[in-house]
Copies of this chain bind each other. A is one copy, B any other.
């Protein structure tokens, strides 16, 4: 008796347009489309993240992306060797719940969708694969699964998931989702131990997600359906109708669905995950030399310690400096202290509000 393998459709969300890695990341080239952590871009790494999965069959990946990035996404996916894929081109972002709804409507009814942000890194792929396989039984039963990152620090930059009773193989029912906490609350949750970081990685059957949308977000589901009914389709591309999509409410899957459903479970996983959300986090996940310096691009380090250098061309020479982040990109040179990379926001805000700076 041959039993068919469960099928998983990778759904890759490429909607982010963060500027936290300015001057390298920009709205035109958000971080998932950049080779920040390796020779491949984070999108390419995400496309290949399901390679090596055993006991499951992997379906055609679906990428949901900003229509402006259609060309570069095609180029990058083809370079991974993946030939059969679909790109859903959003005319504008409506957050994650509608993006995943587009993908769910394109997937087969009972297929399992593995929803992954395109701009994270995962160092320990076998750990991720093991977690995926563990979740399959609950997914088949219609549960909505979120993969929760085992926390190793009282981070205030992530949402948390409070886990309750076991409902599967090392899987827990979700008690509640916790907004980004303050430092004290984060420390409490870390000490308590039954919490995980919400990494935005999900698994569920397409029909289970659509049924949840029908229950909680009927207007969203209707707008997404209408935008696909009138979509333009060509080669790998599906472009939902902008007018119909404009009527879709904007919301995250967490708020719109996960927090409202009953059959929601969390698979805690420790897999060397990073959202590469800042230059500091890039430093911490990068290979470093004996001086704890992480370098991409040409650099001459003479006595430098604990520095990050990221240059798209010019050689960066550091002499006896410590704890600096030095980024050279597209005619911009940015220098700030390691541990303070959230201050990139000061820069992007200053540039947004400032009159053009004259050249002296």
Looking at chain A, what size class is its interface with the partner chain?
Answer: 35 or more
- Whether B319 lies near A335 (C-beta < 8 A) is yes
Contact residues in B for A334 (Cβ distance below 8 Å)? 316-317, 319
- Whether B321 lies near A324 (C-beta < 8 A) is yes
Which of B298, B321, B343, B347 is A337 in contact with, Cβ under 8 Å?
B321
- Whether B318 lies near A336 (C-beta < 8 A) is yes
Contact residues in B for A81 (Cβ distance below 8 Å)? none
Q: Name the residue of chain B whose CB is nearest to the CB of A347.
A: B317
Minimal beta-carbon separation of A128 from chain B (angstroms)? 28
Question: With A302-B346, A346-B319 in contact, do A335 and B331 touch (Cβ < 8 Å)?
Answer: no
Contact residues in B for A347 (Cβ distance below 8 Å)? 300, 302, 317, 319
Q: Name the residue of chain B whose CB is nearest to the CB of A39.
A: B360
Contact residues in B for A333 (Cβ distance below 8 Å)? 311, 314-317, 326, 328, 333
**Any B CB within 8 A of the CB of A320:** yes
Q: How far is the CA of A328 from the CA of B314 in the complex (A)?
A: 9
Q: How far is the CA of A200 from the CA of B23 in the complex (A)?
A: 46
Question: With A314-B328, A340-B319 in contact, do A300 and B335 touch (Cβ < 8 Å)?
Answer: no
Q: How far is the CA of A326 from the CA of B300 in the complex (A)?
A: 14
Q: How far is the CA of A236 from the CA of B302 in the complex (A)?
A: 45
Q: Name the residue of chain B whose CB is nearest to the CB of A315.
A: B332
Contact residues in B for A302 (Cβ distance below 8 Å)? 343, 346-347, 350
Copies of this chain, complex-wide, total 2
Minimal beta-carbon separation of A302 from chain B (angstroms)? 5
Question: With A319-B340, A319-B347 in contact, do A297 and B360 touch (Cβ < 8 Å)?
Answer: yes
Question: With A300-B357, A350-B302 in contact, do A337 and B320 touch (Cβ < 8 Å)?
Answer: yes
Q: Name the residue of chain B whose CB is nearest to the CB of A331.
A: B314
Contact residues in B for A23 (Cβ distance below 8 Å)? 317
**Any B CB within 8 A of the CB of A79:** no
- Whether A340 lies near B316 (C-beta < 8 A) is no
- Whether B319 lies near A336 (C-beta < 8 A) is yes
Contact residues in B for A315 (Cβ distance below 8 Å)? 331-333, 357
- Contacting residues of chain A (285-301) with chain B, CB-CB under 8 angstroms: 295-300
Q: How far is the CA of A295 from the CA of B358 in the complex (A)?
A: 12
Contact residues in B for A337 (Cβ distance below 8 Å)? 319-321
Contact residues in B for A318 (Cβ distance below 8 Å)? 335-336
**Any B CB within 8 A of the CB of A242:** no
Minimal beta-carbon separation of A280 from chain B (angstroms)? 13
**Any B CB within 8 A of the CB of A157:** no
Q: How far is the CA of A344 from the CA of B351 in the complex (A)?
A: 32
Q: List 20 A-B contacts (CB under 8 A).
A: A297-B359, A298-B357, A298-B359, A300-B347, A300-B350, A300-B357, A314-B314, A314-B332, A316-B334, A317-B335, A319-B334, A319-B336, A319-B337, A319-B344, A319-B346, A320-B336, A321-B324, A321-B335, A321-B337, A328-B333
Known: A316-B334, A317-B334, A321-B335. 17 other contacts (CB 8 A): A23-B317, A299-B357, A302-B346, A302-B347, A303-B346, A314-B328, A314-B331, A316-B335, A317-B347, A319-B335, A319-B337, A319-B340, A319-B347, A320-B337, A321-B324, A326-B333, A326-B335
The 10 closest A-B pairs by CB, nearest first: A319-B336, A317-B334, A316-B333, A314-B331, A319-B343, A298-B359, A314-B333, A318-B335, A302-B346, A315-B332
